[in-house]
Amino acid sequence: MTPDCWVNGEPGIRISTFDRGLHYGDGLFETLAVRLGRIRLLDHHLQRLTAGCLRLRLPPLPLDVVKDELTHAANGQPQAVLKLIVTRGSGGCGYRPSASTQTTRILTRHPCPEHPAEYIQYGIRMRVCDTRLSRNRTLAGLKHLNRLEQVLARAEWTEADNIQEGLMMDEEGSVIEGIMTNVFVRLSHGVLATPSLRLAGVAGVMRRHILECAQQTGIPIRIASLSLTEIMQAAEIFVCNSVIGVWPVSAIGHWKFTVGPMTRRAQTWATQC
């Protein structure tokens, strides 16, 4: 089924072949979950998008217009996924951005992906990816358009391997995130920990929501570099993003984990946003 698509607010599927998003990955994107016509964590998405535009020095977005376009695309949808791509727009040949470019907004609407209910109840299986994430302080945290590292990591296994997600480390061996998710672990003494994204990774909006909920309820939080050994010794592990919510992790390779109370609590927080 062809997804619905709007370019700069108008129905259509065509963009310029000179668009810098196509040539250089010069832009950002947001993936937004729609439930009963409402976009979950919309303010978090718009805040991340605005911050990303500032860091990439993209022209300011008309946020009221963007919000109206997203709301229109979500209206009347029982379940859907919206993907908003913002590029620097069309420019000449060469890396130097033109001062006169205008951003291009590409908004697509897709059916919500279907996943087995057992992923939520009993957890998923992960593998440690061979592909490593590059360290780049300037781009760390951003959901920018260059996802080649994730593409290569996801190509490391097939559906027949019965693995649902991959665990990615950076060049120095620190655990950063899943291919499409952020990672949380419960350490000793009930500490909820998640890897630092200071040098690599994507600062997910569901990750932010869970951290806010944990802080509000007085749960001790640790945001720091985590080694693979620390991950494997955790009492429980879960992954999250704005579309799937929270999935427990039952296994990473031959390491096994149980679904614990922190994970169940995070799942409750995810359904309340």
Q: Which residues are catalytic?
A: 31, 143, 177
Give the H or E element holding residue 153.
helix 148-154
24, 58 in Cβ contact below 8 A? Answer: no
Q: Whole-angstrom Cα distance, residue 171 to residue 168? A: 10
β-partners of residue 227 are 174
Q: Whole-angstrom Cα distance, residue 79 to residue 241? A: 16
> What letter would DSSP give residue 97?
P
Q: Whole-angstrom Cα distance, residue 109 to residue 32? A: 10
Question: What is the rounded (10 degree) CA torsion for 144, 145, 151, 152?
Answer: -70
